[in-house]
C-alpha cells in the first residue's frame, strides 16, 4: 500500500496550498475541497478529517514468499471539521470550493489507547506526552516504511455520498 496521493476530479477534490511536502506534529495543513460537477441538493453535508498512520512492509524469508505488512493509526479518533451543511447548488463546469485549515496534533491522546495491547505499540501506552512522529518515507527494493498524515473528505447528500480518498500531507 503506497502512501496516499492527492486526488482531484469533478466529483470532489482536495488541494493543499503551498509546496510543503513534509509535516510535523503541530503543523497546520491548509487547502481547499472543490467540486465542479453539477449538483442540486436540498440537504448536504461536506466534512473533512485528518488521518495519521504508520505503515511498514517487508518480505519474510519463507519459501512461499510471504510479506509482513503492518499498519497503525496514530490518530484513532480522527480530527473532523464540517465545511458545509445545508442546501447546495453547483453548476456543471463552475467550481465551488471550501477552504480548510487543520492542525496535526502534537501528542498521542492516551484516551485513544485505553484497553489496547501494549505489545502492539512501539510507544509506551502509559505515558501521556508521547509526541507524534513527523512524516517520512523509507523505501528499498523490497521493503518500505512511512509515516503519513492526510486529509480525507466526504460529501453527503440526500441521494448519495461522494468520498475523496485524500490529499497527502
- pLDDT, one tens digit per residue, over 11-62 is 899 988 888 888 899 999 999 999 999 999 999 999 999 989 888 888 776 6
Query: What's the pTM value of the predicted model, to 2 decimals?
Result: 0.79
Chain CA centroid to CA 169, Å? 8
Note the pLDDT tens digit of each residue in 126-148. 656 678 889 888 887 778 888 99
How far is Cα 131 from Cα 145, in angstroms, rounded to an integer? 19
143 touches 59 (CB < 8 A): yes
Residue indicated by cell numbers 463546469: 93
The domains found in the chain, sorted by start residue, are 13-168 (2.60.40)
Q: Is 163 helix (H, G, I), strand (E, B) or coil?
A: strand
Amino acid at each position: 500500500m503506497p502512501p496516499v496521493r492527492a486526488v482531484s476530479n469533478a466529483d470532489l477534490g482536495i488541494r493543499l496550498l503551498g509546496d510543503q511536502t513534509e509535516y510535523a506534529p503541530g503543523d497546520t495543513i491548509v487547502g481547499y475541497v472543490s467540486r465542479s460537477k453539477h449538483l442540486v441538493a436540498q440537504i448536504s453535508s461536506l466534512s473533512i478529517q485528518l488521518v495519521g498512520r504508520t505503515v511498514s512492509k517487508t518480505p519474510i524469508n519463507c519459501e512461499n514468499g510471504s510479506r509482513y505488512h503492518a499498519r497503525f493509526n496514530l490518530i484513532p479518533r480522527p480530527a473532523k471539521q464540517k465545511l458545509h451543511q445545508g442546501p447546495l447548488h453547483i453548476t456543471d463546469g463552475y467550481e465551488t470550493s471550501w477552504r480548510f485549515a487543520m492542525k496535526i496534533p502534537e501528542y498521542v491522546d492516551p484516551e485513544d489507547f485505553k484497553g489496547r495491547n501494549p505489545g502492539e505499540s512501539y510507544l509506551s501506552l502509559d505515558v501521556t506526552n508521547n509526541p507524534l512522529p513527523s512524516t517520512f518515507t523509507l523505501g528499498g527494493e523490497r521493503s518500505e516504511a512511512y509515516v503519513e498524515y492526510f486529509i480525507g473528505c466526504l460529501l453527503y447528500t440526500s441521494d448519495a455520498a461522494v468520498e475523496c480518498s485524500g490529499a497527502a500531507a
